[in-house]
Amino acid sequence: MHSIQEDMEELRGQLGKGSIQKAYRALLSYMMGLRTHFNNSYAGFAVSGLYQGYMDMTYFALVPPSLKHRGLKIAIVFNYDAFRFEAWLAGSNRKVQRQYWELFKDSQWPEYRVVTPAKGIDSILECDLATDFDLNDSDALTASIEKATVAFIDDIERFLAEHEPLEQAGPRD
């Protein structure tokens, strides 16, 4: 088992090379630009600030009007462990998350992952947006992420319209 000191020495050595800082700066810059893109392109959506994270995930939230009254949001996430961009359906709190997980858990989502609630789990449903990507071609990456995110939101909205009891859905927009 590595000690914290050994890990710190490894970090220092890697940082000394300079590549980690450059890559991290490029990733954060891209995520800020992606957030701005969604903010400018989807006027009806609420868009949160950027959460930089602890090199576990970096994300921002999109809240389409159709999900807002349900206490749901879409997180656009860079998952460092999986090294990919993802979209997560998430609840505004644990109660909402559990309620909607109950609704989604038995459904078949071949292209998405239904995530079992547990400590530290913030998603209900997950979608891979980009696994092989090139930040040098940020326009193509943004277009790909946007297309997959919109499809994810559309699928969720369609599912909720078909499966959610009206008394559970709350007031409509």
pLDDT tens digits for 85-103? 999 999 999 999 999 999 9
- The whole-chain average pLDDT of the chain stands at 91
- Provide the pLDDT for residue 169: 46
- Provide the pLDDT for residue 165: 62
The number of domains in the chain is 1
What's the CA gap between 130 and 95, in Å, rounded? 30
What phi-psi label fits residue 164: left (phi over 0), alpha (psi between -120 and 50 degrees) or beta? beta
pLDDT tens digits for 21-56? 999 999 999 999 999 999 999 999 999 999 998 999
β pairing state of 72-79 and 57-63 = antiparallel
The model's confidence at residue 107, banded by pLDDT at 50, 70 and 90, is confident
Domain containing residue 146: 4-169
- Provide the pLDDT for residue 102: 92
